[in-house]
Structure 1
């Protein structure tokens, strides 16, 4: 065999060896990723499983074995808690306020983000920075002036007052989301619409707005989590029990010196179940919204 043939065979064997090593390395990386994600999923699911398990147990079972499984599914816990926390009214209040805030924030912040993303000027940059400063300012810093504003307008103890408060809180996030996304949308689509005689408003409504659906779903989830988990604004701006949100109803089961687990855990399950269901239904939209704008 010639020297050239030996060199070719040797280089081929080296190439095969490198590919084999690369495949083995990638296989170990994949296994590690699967193991890591499995452990992470278990750590996330364990508290949820524990909460649901505890919600079906009696006080005696919990005292005897805090980490045990329920001997039977005690539905009475849920019946008593749902009646005590006025579950139907609390859920309605939370859904109504959340939906109203999502609609208002989506409309107002997208209208503000459209010129900020399209007009290339120093003033636009400064306005964008000014509007998004709300993301770094703690919400508690504006509670006092916001309360005085609501009091002067007579909006305390009303749905409208809570909706305005949450809309104000989430507007900077909406402007940030929409401006970042609109900058990744090709401007040629809008130019084609204007060549066809469409005004800026029609271009926004018929061309830009439909493209915002993925990012609107993600923004809506963030707003939902903010409104759903908050207890400060309802306790500050509302005094009527019939207008409280679901999380305020849950907090009421926290005693000053003791906690009844047969009430607290079912209340926590009832409060978090709608959020879990919503996330499972909108999971694809949320993921597409998070990745939207990453590639032009």
Structure 2
């Protein structure tokens, strides 16, 4: 069982932190462990107060015992960026991920993505199928700008809270409401975690300004999903208030070889909220595929 570390750690130890310069700006990533590589792309949340380490750290502590784990901070999140764009944001992150894979001389890897990172993973598999060995995704839309829902309201509750929180990154009350809506177990959102995220946000206002000055163009990937032919696993929280779990079923209907696991008592951040279960699913899936 992985050791659960204090939730207020925003950044990993210095010895596993790295940066590279790319056309998409400075990219920050963490690399830990050895063996077969796997790329992890983190979730949506208060921007820029979400990092790959914050979302995946407990997963990385266990997964890195047997694998080389590479976790990317998406542009304008964490320590990546700032960068301006006027195009689908997920396309920006796809190019960033490819730049990172090229830098590390990695031809083809399995990709684990949650939320916004999962949409990036799907986009990556569509645009550069020769670089993706397999996919674990979930808590996501397939498309930049979202996909139509059958039952859930659009925009979702959390999307509205995110928009409010982005108006003023120094507003602690809005950040608190957003964070508590992202998880099922609100006790995970401690005051120390909130303070750390607020401090991070206000010390990286150049990232916040870059997003405010950029435009993410909507683009649907639904028609291209059926072309994905690599192994695919979908993990989604039953109580996701950002992306309702009906989206997991929608993805499965387009990618007919994909399997779905719905985690009960779990919100939009399965890797953060249910790290033991999430890690076990990832490890079993990688092992079953011989990676």
TM-score with structure 1 setting the length: 0.21
Larger RCO, structure (CA 8 Å, separation 6 or more) = 1
| Structure of larger gyration radius | 1
Please report the TM-score for the alignment, with normalisation by the length of structure 2: 0.22
Q: Which has the higher strand share?
A: 2
